[in-house]
C-alpha cells in the first residue's frame, strides 16, 4: 500500500479482564482499500476493530489521518469512523429510515424527523446503496434479522466517514445479500474510503478484499493480497485446512476444503 496512510497502529495491545487479547499489533492502511480481517474464533478480530475505533482501552499508538486517536474529541472520532458491530440489536420500534438517520448524529443531526437537505441526501444514498428503501417506514423491530443487518449497514454508511469498520456484516444474510453487501463495501472502498471487514468467509475475503490481515491468538501473523496472506502454509497453520484455489471471471476463488 503505497498511498497516503489513513489508519496506523503501532504495537497495539489490549487486555480484557486481565487476559491479553491483542499483543504487539502494528499495521498501516491506506484509503481506497477493502481490508478483510480474518482468523479463527477467539483470535481477537472484534477486539482489534473496537480498539482501532477507540471504543476500548488499549496500549500502543493509533493514528487516524495523521492525528493521534487519543487526541480526538469523541464527536470527531464519530465522524472519522462508521462502525457496524456484530448482532445488529435494536431495542426501539423506530422506522428503518430513522435508524439510518442516526448515522448523521455525529454531524449534528439530533432529530431524524428534522434533517437538513445534506443529511437527508446522505441517508437516502446509504439506504439506496444497500437496497433498504422499501423498509423506510417499517419498524425495524418488525424486520427479519437479515433485513435489520442491512439497515444497520446503511446507518454506518450514512456517517460518510473516511473509515468503515464492519464486524461480520454478512452474518445471517442469504447468499444474494452477502454478495450485495460485499459489492457495496467494495464500491465504497473504490470511492476512496478505507473499509475494514471482519469475516469468517474466506471466499468472500479472497474475492472482494485487496488486502487481508490474519490474526491468530491476538497476533497479526500474515498480511498482504489474498493470495499472499492466505497462502497454503497460512491456511494450514492458522485455520488447519487445505483450500481449493481457482479463478472465475477474473476473481480469486478460495474454498476451505479439507482438514490438514
Examine the pLDDT at 163 and tell me if it is beyond 50.
yes
pLDDT of 236 higher than 80: yes
Residue 55 lies in a domain: no
The domain in which residue 121 lies consists of 90-161
Full-model pTM: 0.92
pLDDT bucket at 70, cuts 50 / 70 / 90: very high
Query: Residue 2: pLDDT band by 50, 70, 90 thresholds?
Result: very low
CB 237 within 8 A of CB 224: no
Q: What is the pLDDT of residue 171?
A: 85
Nine cell digits for residue 236 = 494450514
Torsion of the alpha carbons at 107, 114, 156 and 182, rounded to the nearest 10: -130
Asked if residue 124 belongs to a domain, the reply is yes
Residues β-bridged to residue 215: 220
Taking a C-beta distance cutoff of 8 angstroms, is the pair 226, 219 a contact?
Answer: no
Cα gap 140→145, rounded to integer Å: 10
Q: pLDDT tens-digit profile of 87-140?
A: 766 778 899 999 999 999 999 999 988 999 999 999 999 999 888 999 999 999
CA angle 157, 179, 46 (to 5 degrees): 60
Domain count, the chain: 1
Considering the domain boundaries, does residue 244 fall inside one? no
Residue 105 is assigned to a structural domain of this protein:
yes
Q: What is the mean pLDDT of residues 150-158?
A: 92
pLDDT band at 198 (very low <50, low <70, confident <90, very high): very high
Q: In this structure, is residue 172 part of a structural domain? A: no
**Does residue 71 sit within a domain?**
no
Averaged pLDDT of the chain:
92
Q: Does any domain span residue 110?
A: yes
The pLDDT of residue 173: 83
49-63 pLDDT, tens digit per residue, is: 999 999 999 999 999
Residue 61 lies in a domain: no
| 59 strand-pairing partners | 13
Amino acid at each position: 500500500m503505497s498511498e497516503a496512510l489513513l489508519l496506523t497502529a503501532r504495537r497495539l495491545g489490549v487486555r480484557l479482564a486481565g487476559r491479553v487479547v491483542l499483543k504487539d499489533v502494528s499495521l498501516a492502511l491506506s484509503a481506497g482499500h477493502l481490508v478483510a480481517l480474518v482468523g479463527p474464533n477467539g483470535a481477537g478480530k472484534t477486539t482489534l476493530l473496537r480498539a482501532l475505533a477507540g471504543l476500548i482501552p488499549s496500549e500502543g499508538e493509533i493514528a487516524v489521518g495523521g492525528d493521534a486517536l487519543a487526541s480526538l474529541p469523541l464527536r470527531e472520532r464519530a465522524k472519522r469512523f462508521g462502525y457496524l458491530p456484530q448482532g445488529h440489536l435494536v431495542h426501539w420500534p423506530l422506522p428503518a429510515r430513522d435508524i439510518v438517520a442516526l448515522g448523521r448524529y455525529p454531524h449534528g443531526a439530533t432529530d431524524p424527523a428534522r434533517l437538513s437537505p445534506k443529511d437527508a441526501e446522505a441517508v437516502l444514498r446509504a439506504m439506496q446503496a444497500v437496497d433498504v428503501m422499501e423498509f423506510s417506514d417499517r419498524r425495524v423491530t418488525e424486520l427479519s434479522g437479515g433485513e435489520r443487518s442491512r439497515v444497520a449497514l446503511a446507518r454506518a454508511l450514512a456517517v460518510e466517514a473516511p473509515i468503515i469498520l464492519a464486524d461480520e456484516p454478512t452474518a445471517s444474510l442469504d447468499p444474494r445479500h452477502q454478495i450485495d453487501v460485499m459489492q457495496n463495501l467494495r464500491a465504497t472502498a473504490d470511492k476512496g474510503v478505507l473499509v475494514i471487514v471482519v469475516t469468517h468467509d474466506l471466499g468472500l475475503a479472497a474475492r472482494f478484499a485487496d488486502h487481508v490481515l490474519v490474526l491468530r491468538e491476538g497476533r497479526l501473523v500474515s498480511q498482504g493480497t489474498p493470495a499472499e496472506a492466505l497462502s497454503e502454509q497460512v491456511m494450514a497453520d492458522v485455520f488447519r485446512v487445505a483450500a481449493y484455489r481457482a479463478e472465475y471471471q477474473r476473481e480469486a476463488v478460495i474454498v476451505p476444503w479439507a482438514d490438514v
